[in-house]
Chains A and B, each alone.
Chain A
Amino acid sequence: DAGITQSPRHKVTETGTPVTLRCHQTENHRYMYWYRQDPGHGLRLIHYSYGVKDTDKGEVSDGYSVSRSKTEDFLLTLESATSSQTSVYFCAASRAGQMNTEAFFGQGTRLTVV
């Protein structure tokens, strides 16, 4: 996993509550990503960051926000969790946002919204 840690690994939360997932990396990668993985959809990009305080939306960004105040941490926040956000969330990081973007993945966070 190249030094990428996600926390928590599992979480159950109620509809309407805010939830923050944390991704921490120790390799000083500039680029970081949040994906969600759902059956039948593969991995879909939620948000990504190309530097401290530099973030942009991915394919499925509605209902999510992110923050990157330090190189090593990338936070994903669900402002008001909904059942459709039940998923497995993966953080990834890459050395450079160039064409050869080898990405290293965390172990995933399984989020259940009840």
Chain B
Amino acid sequence: GEDVEQSLFLSVREGDSSVINCTYTDSSSTYLYWYKQEPGAGLQLLTYIFSNMDMKQDQRLTVLLNKKDKHLSLRIADTQTGDSAIYFCAESQRGAGSYQLTFGKGTKLSVIP
């Protein structure tokens, strides 16, 4: 499958903004996702963006998409300790019977009080 790449770790101070970056390689991907995984839990969808959009904002979350460079970013404003988690970038790819999600390795966000 196509690769989705993310940096593995990010540390920020409480109240600062966090920016988590992701690159993908499948130019046919039409939906790109950010999932959050808290310790000991499954993944929860945070937000997604359709490939004809450049930006999507949802409260403290801003997703930026540069389709030319196949670069996706997630900005969390006013980062809180509760934002500490692993964040996965994912793209939707067509398989034999359905679309599937291909995930990056995840970025572990640590928020320093």
Contacts and interface: CB of A to CB of B under 8 A. Distances in A.
A40 B100 CA distance: 21
Interface stretch (A42-50, A69-77, A79-87): A42-50
Interface string B86-113: 0010001001111111111110000000
B53 interface: no
Interface residues of A, number: 32
B10 interface: no
B41 A42 contact: no
Contact of B31 (A4, A48, A59, A99): A99
Nearest to B6: A42
A56 B95 contact: yes
Given A43-B103, A48-B98, A99 B92 contact: yes
18 contacts: A4-B42, A33-B100, A33-B101, A42-B103, A43-B43, A45-B100, A48-B95, A48-B100, A54-B97, A56-B96, A58-B100, A92-B101, A98-B98, A100-B50, A102-B33, A107-B41, A107-B42, A108-B41
Interface of A: 1, 4, 31, 33, 35, 40-45, 48, 50-51, 54, 56, 58-59, 90, 92, 97-108
Given A100-B92, A101-B92, 5 more contacts: A42-B106, A99-B99, A101-B99, A102-B48, A103-B45
